[in-house]
Amino acid sequence: MGLRDEILAQPEVAGRLLERQRVPMAELAATLHSREIDYVVIAARGTSDHAAIYAQYLLGTRHRLPVALATPSILSLYGVTPRFRRALVVGISQSGASPDVAGVVAAARDQGAPTVAITNDPRSALADAADHVIDLGAGPERAVAATKTYTAQLLAIALLSAALHRDAAFDEAIAGVPEALGRALAAEPEAKRIARDQAALDRCVVLGRGYDYATAREWALKLKELAYVLAEPYSAADFQHGPVALVEPGFSVLAVACGGSASADLVELLRRLRSEQSAELLVVSDQAETRALGRWSLPVPDGVAESLMPLVSIVPGQLHAFHLARAKGLDPEAPRHLRKVTRTR
């Protein structure tokens, strides 16, 4: 199975995860409800860091929980163990093999903090370090660039949130994720056409805000990994505090601008970038009017809840990065200098 096959497998992976994890999630939630948790700490690297960013928004908005990203080097390089009193500590890793991520979780468990591992390998070092394991069950991911495990990580976080606070509307929305992922794959022909137009692309910025900031980060990473594009991701708010100076006529700006609370400000920024700076825009959105701002655009299925949109909005980005690599004559199955499992300490 190659990278494209793994991108196309995401609806099936999501459906399987929903079926297998509802009961274990309920049991985990019952355990967590018995503990006093004031905040969440997440240890992750690479793609999994972007799942952690999604968790910041989802657990923050639905549960009012501050979510901090761990700094594993404090422990692994400097030998200092943070205090995890009244924290839920989560490790997220596709392979579960990185010693620094597992080390954070193990240290928290030693202090008596509740710990959770979200991984595609329930026999990994990360899984062994945690009290509870959420097995993504995505099957072997042979491509170097993570795709199906990323959306599975996002879904696992959504299921954890649903278990912590029962809400029939949110449960129904989660049940619709596999179907929405299937509809998102329909963007492939347009992604392939755009990739041919952009075959000379070597630098760009990728913008998002709110929930879809995670998508902007992950799309930029896929462009770096697969197509060797110097793609810098920014929150649309942070972008206006300095990096906007990069934009000149013809400069490429990629944006994830789906409807929701963050939409209006981002859309206004895109209008200015197009009309005042003559930027070349590629816009991913579920809103036709927003897509019309771009020289190019990719659709996202409508009707997806804002809180679940990152599970779907990354799919056009994955397809774009894959086909851009192909358009450049590169092999997306074998990105240079990269291995499937990276062990940092």
The residues annotated with a catalytic role in the active site are 340
- Helix, strand, or coil (residue 230): strand
Give DSSP secondary structure letters for 14-56: HHHHHHHHHHHHHHHHHHHHTS---EEEEEE-THHHHHHHHHH
Q: How far apart are CA 100 and CA 44, in angstroms?
A: 9
Q: How far apart are CA 215 and CA 209, in angstroms?
A: 9
Count Cβ atoms below 10 Å from residue 168 Cβ, excluding itself.
Answer: 7
Q: Which of 84, 151, 156 is nearest to 113 (CA)?
A: 84
- Helix, strand, or coil (residue 116): strand
Phi-psi map region of 89: left, alpha, beta (phi>0 left; psi -120 to 50 alpha) = beta
Strands of the sheet with 296-299, listed across from one edge: 230-235, 203-208, 252-256, 280-285, 296-299
Cα torsion 331, 332, 336, 340: sign: negative
Q: How far apart are CA 211 and CA 57, in angstroms?
A: 6
